Chain A
Amino acid sequence: MSASTYASVLGLTAAVVLLCAVVTLWRRTLRAIIRVLAVQGLALACVAMVVGLRRHDTGLIVVAVLVLAAKAIVVPMLITRVVRHDPASRETQPLVNVPASLVAAGALTILAFAVTRSVTALVPTPAGRLIPLGLAAMLVGFFALVTRRKAVSQIVGILLVDNGVALVAFLATAGVPLIVELGASLDVLLAVVVLQVLAARLRSLLGSFDLDRLTELHD
């Protein structure tokens, strides 16, 4: 593919990843948030695929397929199963209201661009210039994690942070060495399974996912 097509497709998919992270702050139903997460996983796989095709790197293409399977299909399915017993659950009241969190997301994006100036200077390729988008997605995910109360929303926050970091990994270095990437994906999957198990135990103990009800441990 030509250089400009590559640059625009890459830019588009990376921007979709960041956009999905921001939309997660906006939507209230957990079902919609999980759908957005699946879209983000798909976009992430596309980024990896595009970069792999450009560099003729079969390892990266394999990783792209794995990412598609894991982040766009398996993980949303696991979380949906957790949410199914809590139908149409809504975020009762996030700690920061929606317009303010959207504006905060904008501020975090600007922060990400400011902080990664040295990194983009080091990698002047079209892919390297999009690294700040990955860091911004990670920061937005972190923000979502901190301002949400429901247990499933916190899982979503962790996944957003992971997706942002994965985006940076794909863009910056065309993927970390295959072993580490496999280990990373496996660990993420394992962590989600653990979270699901814990969430199931929490639900059976409390009957809901409201972490507000867990306030025994504090100072």
Chain B
Amino acid sequence: MLIVILGIPLAGALFSGLVPWRRGIGWLGTASASGVFVSGVVLAVGIVEGRPVTGLGGILRADALSAFMVIVIGVIAVLATWQGVRYLEAEIAAGRCTPRHASLYCVLVQGFLATMLLAVLAANLGVLWVAVEATTVVTTFLVGHRRTRSSLEASWKYIVICSVGIAMAFLGTVLVYLAALHVVGHGPHPLDWTSLVTQSHRLDPGVMRLAFALLVLGYGTKVGLVPMHSWLPDAHSQAPAPVSALMSGVLLTVAFYAILRFKVIADGALGAAFPRSLLVIVSLLSLAVAASLLLTQRDYKRMLAYHSVEHMGLIALGAAAGSPLAIGAVLLHVLGHGLAKGVLFLASGEILLTEGTSEIEHVPALLSRRPVLGGIFAFGLVALLGFPPFSLFVSELNMLRAEFEVGLGWAAAVSLVCMAVIFGAVMSHGRHMLLGPKGTATPAMTPAVVAVPLIGGLVGCAFIGISAWPLQSLLHAAARIVAP
């Protein structure tokens, strides 16, 4: 089963690479993404009713948390690849992209999906590290796909900073391995996550403290947590819109998934205090930096990127709280943020395509000039800011509740202040973009093939917000894994 999930995007990559570019090739990506989503759902159903699934000789393992992440990856990948078709067609039509580059793009996107799936399905922490490093390498080329000066600068910064972060995460993994060796000895799978969790109370606290700090800093680089966040606005604003959606919606949370896995081990070895305080510090820093920098943004893609930093900070704060309610809310937030941010990035890609500029001041009155697109963008912003009925409202509320219960009330208050600042900043930027004098141009219509997936994403987000019914048991099971 797990091999099937991994195999779908790999096969898609192979196929896209071998077959020369044709108009319909882009849909292959959407097909493989849907395949991933469907198999993720099947996997989740199986796991909730039964036990975790292993595959490939113990290297792969799927429990409720992994299944949830597979579903998240699948659904956002569907949206992104659907929009990717339009992006590629427009780029080729405008002459900015050759067919060879387009098929390279398809191969890389499929490869990106495969490496992310490997990361969430890994049973061995070493394989997890290799997969995350592989995502960095693959996305560097994707970020620099447009080959303009600024996108090259962005991809350079991306790989430099993320390579350092990955090296730190490797050191953290090595230290965990060292602590495990001391306890378990040279067993067949000393880095196996389940055995580490059962042995976690015997791991040396001093080593684990250093290891967890290195891991939070290292994987936190890929999550976009301060102080290693400076690649995020550049990379997410310069990458093609579907890639930005995938990176902002999914890749950040896959890296955070890695931190969550290590947090379980650290909680067992160190007690909840040290991991909690470390995550609180990092999250509050991220919120503060995001809030202060969002006020002066002039580019709407960079604005969305900084908004991702804020949401990652919120997720980190929720994970710091650590109770089952908090973790459940965190996971729900992951899904909701992925959907909403993905829709927003895709919509902004469409805006960039039709307006030709990514500056906020130069795209006024979207609601009047392009009603459907403007409406999607407006609802997306509303969803991200945490309004009901969208799911982010529910998840943020529950996270705050959990933080107050656990005793992190002061941190929750600080985060509320930052969220208020961000609310004001985003509203004002959104107002510039969406409202304004109509002018003489007639409203343009957005093609249905573009609008449908975006509206579908938003509807899905609202649906989950109103009733988490299909995901209830999965969320419970996943939360129980991280916060027993």
Touch between A and B in complex, CB under 8 Å? yes
Write the residues of chain A forming the contact surface with B, with a CB cutoff of 8 angstroms. Answer: 115-119, 121-123, 135, 138, 142, 145, 151, 154, 157-158, 161-162, 165, 168-169, 172-173, 176-177, 179-180, 183-184, 187, 190-191, 194-195, 198, 201-202, 205-206, 211, 214, 216-217, 219
Tell yes or no: B352 within 8 A of A by CB: no
Q: How far is the CA of A138 from the CA of B175 in the complex (A)?
A: 14
B229 to chain A, nearest CB (A): 12
Tell yes or no: B238 within 8 A of A by CB: yes
A183 proximity list for chain B (CB < 8 A): 126-127, 129-130, 133
Tell yes or no: B177 within 8 A of A by CB: yes
Tell yes or no: B209 within 8 A of A by CB: yes
B385 to chain A, nearest CB (A): 21
B209 proximity list for chain A (CB < 8 A): 118
B359 to chain A, nearest CB (A): 13
A118, A145, A157, A190: the one within 8 Å of B207 (CB): A118
B182 proximity list for chain A (CB < 8 A): 122-123
Say whether B140 contacts A194, CB under 8 Å: yes
Dominant secondary structure of chain A at its interface with chain B: helix
B59 to chain A, nearest CB (A): 8
Q: How far is the CA of A33 from the CA of B175 in the complex (A)?
A: 29
In the complex where A177-B126, A187-B137, A194-B137 touch, is A151 in contact with B210 (Cβ < 8 A)?
no
Say whether B174 contacts A165, CB under 8 Å: yes
Among listed B8-16, B143-151, B441-449, B467-475, interface-contacting one: B143-151
B214 to chain A, nearest CB (A): 10
A177 proximity list for chain B (CB < 8 A): 126, 190-191
Q: How far is the CA of A116 from the CA of B154 in the complex (A)?
A: 35
Looking across the interface, which residue of chain B has its beta carbon closest to that of A118? B206
A161 proximity list for chain B (CB < 8 A): 163-164, 167-168
A116 proximity list for chain B (CB < 8 A): 210
In the complex where A118-B207, A161-B167, A201-B152 touch, is A187 in contact with B134 (Cβ < 8 A)?
yes
Say whether B150 contacts A180, CB under 8 Å: no
Q: How far is the CA of A168 from the CA of B154 in the complex (A)?
A: 31
A164 to chain B, nearest CB (A): 8
Say whether B153 contacts A195, CB under 8 Å: no
B137, B153, B210: the one within 8 Å of A191 (CB): B137
Tell yes or no: B330 within 8 A of A by CB: no
Looking across the interface, which residue of chain B has its beta carbon closest to that of A211? B156
Say whether B167 contacts A145, CB under 8 Å: no
Say whether B159 contacts A194, CB under 8 Å: yes
Q: How far is the CA of A1 from the CA of B147 in the complex (A)?
A: 55
B156-194 CB contacts (< 8 Å) to partner A = 156-157, 159-160, 163-164, 166-168, 170-171, 173-175, 177-179, 181-182, 190-191
Most buried by B among A135, A198, A201: A198
Most buried by A among B144, B164, B168, B296: B164
Say whether B160 contacts A165, CB under 8 Å: no
Say whether B167 contacts A138, CB under 8 Å: yes
Q: How far is the CA of A20 from the CA of B418 in the complex (A)?
A: 45
Say whether A173 contacts B137, CB under 8 Å: no
B130 proximity list for chain A (CB < 8 A): 180, 183-184, 187
Tell yes or no: B348 within 8 A of A by CB: no
Looking across the interface, which residue of chain A has its beta carbon closest to that of B163? A158
Say whether B167 contacts A165, CB under 8 Å: yes
Q: How far is the CA of A116 from the CA of B210 in the complex (A)?
A: 8
Q: How far is the CA of A123 from the CA of B153 in the complex (A)?
A: 43
Tell yes or no: B89 within 8 A of A by CB: no
Say whether A122 contacts B159, CB under 8 Å: no
Say whether B179 contacts A122, CB under 8 Å: yes
Q: For the complex of A and B, list the 8 residue pairs with the smallest distance between their C-beta atoms, beginning with the closest.
A: A118-B206, A180-B126, A183-B130, A214-B153, A187-B133, A217-B234, A172-B178, A165-B171
Say whether A165 contacts B170, CB under 8 Å: yes
In the complex where A115-B210, A169-B174, A198-B140 touch, is A180 in contact with B233 (Cβ < 8 A)?
no
A118, A123, A198: the one within 8 Å of B156 (CB): A198
B271 to chain A, nearest CB (A): 16
Tell yes or no: B387 within 8 A of A by CB: no
Sample (22) of A-B pairs whose CB atoms are under 8 Å apart: A118-B207, A118-B209, A119-B178, A122-B182, A158-B163, A161-B163, A177-B191, A180-B126, A180-B129, A183-B129, A184-B133, A191-B133, A191-B137, A191-B159, A194-B140, A194-B159, A198-B144, A198-B156, A211-B156, A214-B156, A217-B153, A219-B293
B292-340 CB contacts (< 8 Å) to partner A = 293, 296-297, 302
Q: How far is the CA of A151 from the CA of B155 in the complex (A)?
A: 12
Q: How far is the CA of A166 from the CA of B160 in the complex (A)?
A: 18
Tell yes or no: B141 within 8 A of A by CB: yes
Tell yes or no: B91 within 8 A of A by CB: no
B166 proximity list for chain A (CB < 8 A): 187
Say whether A173 contacts B129, CB under 8 Å: no
Q: How far is the CA of A116 from the CA of B162 in the complex (A)?
A: 24
In the complex where A158-B163, A165-B170, A202-B152 touch, is A122 in contact with B134 (Cβ < 8 A)?
no
Q: How far is the CA of A187 from the CA of B153 in the complex (A)?
A: 22
Q: How far is the CA of A179 from the CA of B190 in the complex (A)?
A: 12
B191 proximity list for chain A (CB < 8 A): 176-177, 180
B234 proximity list for chain A (CB < 8 A): 217
A173 proximity list for chain B (CB < 8 A): 174, 177-178, 181
B137 proximity list for chain A (CB < 8 A): 187, 190-191, 194
A138 proximity list for chain B (CB < 8 A): 167, 171
In the complex where A176-B177, A179-B127, A184-B130 touch, is A195 in contact with B147 (Cβ < 8 A)?
no
